[in-house]
Amino acid sequence: MKHVLKIFSLLVAISGLWIGLLQASIIPRSHTWLLPIYFIVSLGCYGLLMVGVGLMGFPTCPQEALLLQQDIAEAKYFLKQRGVDVDSE
């Protein structure tokens, strides 16, 4: 629930800032109307950046890789016993 309140308060603050800029005419009105679109595009770029950084720093798991290779070998042996050709590449 606290996370929802943080998001809601952030949205209220951003909306208040946007409405204030519309009323004060500090920034030209043609630019002010585009601020929500800029915000959404910026948020999307930030999200893509975070996904990219997360993928670049993805931890390797050598123990899990060995277990996976063992499972693959067991599956190949099981299928080979049943007459399935799994080694054709």
Instruction: Check whether 87 has a pLDDT greater than 80.
Output: no
Whether 70 has a pLDDT exceeding 90, the answer reads yes
The rounded distance, in Å, linking the Cα atoms of 9 and 6 is 5
* Residue-wise pLDDT tens digits, 20-38: 877 887 777 777 778 788 8
Q: What is the pLDDT of residue 49?
A: 92
Residue 27 falls in which region: left (phi positive, over 0), alpha (psi -120 to 50) or beta: beta
Query: Does 61 or 71 have the greater pLDDT score?
Result: 71
Instruction: Locate 84 and state its tokens.
Output: 């399935």
